[in-house]
A and B are shown apart, each in its own frame.
Chain A
């Protein structure tokens, strides 16, 4: 999975491409640590080029969501493909995550 970071105003936008699964989730988590461990962080995950999210990927998203609560941060996910949106809906993640 390719990850690219860019700054847009106060937000960190993360462009994600490929698959967020057992193989890529640990590295994704590590790369994002510096961003989601900051008080009041603001992350936008752009899923436009993301094709797949597995259970391991969902665990990382849940972790960042928990961090946002603890650190008064914010995570928004945008441009979600219908097949990933379906997984979010079925697993109850659409009620937990902020999806635009």
Chain B
């Protein structure tokens, strides 16, 4: 019975997903017009709001008048409205009902609270769930690799705070999970006590404790690949403890779970010596052969954001997955879901024309002009800053992302996230992106023959001239004697990734780049610390740029000096 129910739930989602794909295919045939019409509809719907009156939305009937009347915006432009909305005011920036406030992951000190309308939640649900499951189902086909639609392991937890207006604030991915709360147990292995944690607990243990007992586990889904990779590392270290507990039907006393929750979890657990013996036999063979297909024979995919800055974690996951594919999910933010993969393993995302209105500023444009382009005016291979008008009351909003046009799906651009404008490092105008750093570090690891755990970049302007310092954690400690050689390699790779660095080092505008290794487990400690401070594990992104004093102090205190 238990196997039939998830199959029915997923089949229904996939069926809706196929309908969504059909609709999407129609929309993308006419994407520029659909997208422009969405903007006109939003403006009309919100003409009577305070923001709409301020910028004369009632006079907007064309793209040109929209651009003339409405200025670019940032979060700070909306913050005073949002403060009032949280106290209960309505009709300020949108007339659509706001159902949630998304806490952004970017800032530790003062997280932003992004209003989320029911329309935005619907877009997330229909694209990130139904559409994507249909794409996966279609890709896996009908042969032996077919997805049998067993339950999955969902790592997206729901931790909300209640605002004065009675609405919840929390991660946008958590809101997506919350919207299917009644179906969760049918779709996923983790019980509600784990998905809706009231207190801090050993959540990796808790997720695995239930997922491992289900031999038919089909997939893992998470907001970011970081969490999936961390989970598998935990399994590699702690499998004996987990298997012992599965055998005896217990939860080891060293596992931190509040007593009342532990009691509820134990009521759902029975000793399972047969499954424990099967798992033990596989774990004892080691992890050098991919472990996931051996312990979960029906496992078919991972569904998580894992491209760009996350790719180091995706690479690690291949070690556990073997040839099991990854679905790279969506290109999204708290403000909107913007693009989606329409193929398995593809790292290119098709813009969703009915989710937000998009404008673009070419990155190679000289001068100060801020004239924007629409999607039909973009060129393949070029980079653009993306500006969105969303379905939750943000207009011409500078999300600070730069995307690259990789190709086209019908009349809709396929894009890749390239870097965040506020994460770009520039000491002397050389403008080094996350993409450059990622490439240089990976090339370094290849040449130095080391396995990369994580990395960051720091613009060191305390010396003159300034220099790039690459901080890396490697799986094995590298020889101190070769430091000069490593320094040369990273300098060379950075100069290839961004030739402007090479030229500026040669001409003395920049000092030679430096490489520094941090102690083992430093990046894991940083994540532990952020979670301890209340940041949701769903939202933890890799630290690519050391851009605050807090990060600077933390990472440089933990440099491996031995």
Interface residues of A (CB under 8 A from B): 21-22, 33, 37, 54-56, 58-59, 62-63, 65-67, 69-70, 86-87, 90-92, 96
Per a CB cutoff under 8 Å, which of B520, B529, B554, B558 touches A62?
Answer: B529
> For B557, what are the chain A residues with a Cβ–Cβ distance below 8 Å?
86-87, 90-91
List the B residue with the shortest CB-CB distance to A22.
B520
B556 interface residue per 8 A CB criterion: yes
List the B residue with the shortest CB-CB distance to A96.
B532
A59–B519 CB distance below 8 A: no
Q: Tell me the minimal C-beta distance from A56 to chain B in angstroms.
A: 5
A33–B254 CB distance below 8 A: yes
Per a CB cutoff under 8 Å, which of B256, B525, B529, B556 touches A90?
Answer: B556
The distance in angstroms between the C-alpha atoms of A90 and B556, with both chains bound, is 8
Would you list 27 pairs from A and B whose C-beta atoms are within 8 A, ordered by A residue? A33-B254, A37-B253, A37-B254, A54-B519, A55-B518, A55-B519, A55-B520, A55-B524, A55-B525, A56-B519, A56-B521, A58-B525, A59-B525, A59-B528, A62-B525, A62-B528, A62-B532, A63-B256, A65-B532, A66-B532, A69-B200, A70-B201, A70-B258, A90-B557, A91-B525, A91-B554, A92-B529
Interface of chain A, main secondary structure: helix
B553 interface residue per 8 A CB criterion: yes
With A90-B557, A91-B557, A96-B532 as contacts: A59 and B256 at CB distance below 8 Å: no
| 4 closest Cβ pairs, A-B complex | A90-B557, A55-B522, A90-B553, A55-B519
> For B253, what are the chain A residues with a Cβ–Cβ distance below 8 Å?
37
Q: Is the interface on chain B under 10, 10 to 19, 20 to 34, or 35 or more residues?
A: 20 to 34
> For B254, what are the chain A residues with a Cβ–Cβ distance below 8 Å?
33, 37
The distance in angstroms between the C-alpha atoms of A26 and B267, with both chains bound, is 31
List the A residue with the shortest CB-CB distance to B253.
A37
The distance in angstroms between the C-alpha atoms of A13 and B518, with both chains bound, is 31
Q: Tell me the minimal C-beta distance from A54 to chain B in angstroms.
A: 5
- What per-residue 1/0 map shows which CB atoms of B184-195 lie under 8 Å from chain A? 000000000000
- What per-residue 1/0 map shows which CB atoms of B515-542 lie under 8 Å from chain A? 0001111101100110010000000000
The distance in angstroms between the C-alpha atoms of A22 and B558, with both chains bound, is 13
Extra A-B contacts (18), CB below 8 Å, given A54-B520, A56-B519, A69-B200: A37-B254, A54-B519, A55-B518, A55-B521, A55-B522, A58-B525, A59-B521, A59-B528, A63-B256, A65-B532, A66-B256, A66-B532, A70-B256, A87-B557, A90-B556, A91-B529, A91-B558, A92-B553
The distance in angstroms between the C-alpha atoms of A73 and B65, with both chains bound, is 63
> For B463, what are the chain A residues with a Cβ–Cβ distance below 8 Å?
none
B481 interface residue per 8 A CB criterion: no
> For B199, what are the chain A residues with a Cβ–Cβ distance below 8 Å?
70
> For B521, what are the chain A residues with a Cβ–Cβ distance below 8 Å?
22, 54-56, 59
List the B residue with the shortest CB-CB distance to A25.
B521
Q: Tell me the minimal C-beta distance from B203 to chain A in angstroms.
A: 12
The distance in angstroms between the C-alpha atoms of A91 and B522, with both chains bound, is 11
> For B200, what are the chain A residues with a Cβ–Cβ distance below 8 Å?
66, 69-70
The distance in angstroms between the C-alpha atoms of A63 and B201, with both chains bound, is 10
Q: Tell me the minimal C-beta distance from B240 to chain A in angstroms.
A: 13
Q: Tell me the minimal C-beta distance from A50 to chain B in angstroms.
A: 16
> For A91, what are the chain B residues with a Cβ–Cβ distance below 8 Å?
525, 529, 553-554, 557-558
The distance in angstroms between the C-alpha atoms of A29 and B484, with both chains bound, is 37
The distance in angstroms between the C-alpha atoms of A55 and B556, with both chains bound, is 12
Q: Tell me the minimal C-beta distance from B216 to chain A in angstroms.
A: 33
- What per-residue 1/0 map shows which CB atoms of B536-562 lie under 8 Å from chain A? 000000000000001001101110000
The distance in angstroms between the C-alpha atoms of A56 and B519, with both chains bound, is 8
List the A residue with the shortest CB-CB distance to B477.
A22
Q: Tell me the minimal C-beta distance from A95 to chain B in angstroms.
A: 10
List the B residue with the shortest CB-CB distance to A54.
B519
> For A90, what are the chain B residues with a Cβ–Cβ distance below 8 Å?
553-554, 556-557
> For B524, what are the chain A residues with a Cβ–Cβ distance below 8 Å?
55, 59
The distance in angstroms between the C-alpha atoms of A87 and B560, with both chains bound, is 12
